[in-house]
Amino acid sequence: MKELSIVIPLYNEEESLSELKAWIDRVLKGRSYEVIFVDDGSRDGSWAEVQRLAEADAERVVGIRMARNYGKSAGLQMGFQAATGRVVITMDADLQDSPEEIAELERKILEDGYDLVSGWKKKRHDPLSKTIPTRLYNAATRWVSGIELHDFNCGLKAYRLEVVKAIEVQGEMHRYIPILAKSVGFDRIGEQVVQHQARKYGSSKFGLERFINGFLDLMTIGFMSRFSRKPMHFFGALGVMMFLVSLAGFSWIALGKLISIWEGNPTRNITEISAFYVSLTGMVFGLQFFLTGFLAEMTSRNDTKRHDYQVAEHIKKQ
């Protein structure tokens, strides 16, 4: 087993790869490690550069080329599957993450007992159009997840090998890997302030739309981490509450009409009262939410991975 696996997803980063590899080699000289380059469908000469690096250092370089551009999450997932090191480090290929940080990240995993350590780019070399939405996004993620990290989306992270083998990164969920790790029981999550280097080559591959997608993904993973195995607890509870509140409103309207009739007072037709339609709509929606939860529960119970639980320790009989 290698001591370290460095997983580097990349897309159109031809200029920086050889420099990054040389930087890693200088920092980890004399260590047992592997560098896993995952080319996510680059359109430049990135794959040719990965091939050249692999030929020059076949013992350490692993190259994976995706058939097309699937996104960073897919690149990380493929890298995690290939990793064999006791500690797995992820970093971006654009030279904005410094390999000098690897030693301290590894120490926090091996000596301080963390399952995952996330980098925190406290001082960023980015415009305000990027830093302000990033702060809002991180604040929302802390509130939803309960994980006190300042920079969830930092590409520079360290993991125990068991963590990357237990989680599944798909869609655009690479932003929420700490939440994924916590959801399967790896809740010893730490943070380390790291340097943010100015981009040396090319330009960012991400636009402002990532923040919109990020908040949508946050809603998804917030729900999945809490209710993926018990959807009835969410939809059923919401449906029953909505139905009962609406039924109470409907009963109040009907009771008021009966009292008015009993006392001989003039009354309006129930269908002329707007609150009647509000109550009726609420009852219908409540019933629909309840049925949604019931169907989701039935689907969940037929999931073949429903009982794939993460085991922390296992003592077997002699």
Quote the CA–CA distance of 179 and 220 in Å, as a whole number. 12
Average pLDDT rounded to a whole number, residues 168-191: 87
Confidence (pLDDT) at 176:
86
**Tokens representing residue 307 in the block:** 């009982």
- Reported pTM: 0.72
Query: CB–CB of 43/12 below 8 Å?
Result: yes
Residue boundaries of the structural domains of the chain:
4-227, 232-301
Q: What percentage of the chain exceeds 90 in pLDDT? A: 44
Dihedral angle of Cα 301, 305, 308, 309, to the nearest 10 degrees: -50
Confidence at residue 312, expressed as pLDDT on a 0 to 100 scale: 54
Mind listing the pLDDT tens digit for each residue in 278-297?
Answer: 888 999 998 998 888 888 77
DSSP 270: G
Does residue 65 surpass a pLDDT of 70?
yes
Mean pLDDT of the chain: 84
pLDDT tens readout for residues 81-130: 999 999 999 999 989 899 999 999 999 999 999 999 999 988 776 665 56
Superfamily per CATH, domain 4-227: Spore Coat Polysaccharide Biosynthesis Protein SpsA; Chain A (3.90.550.10)
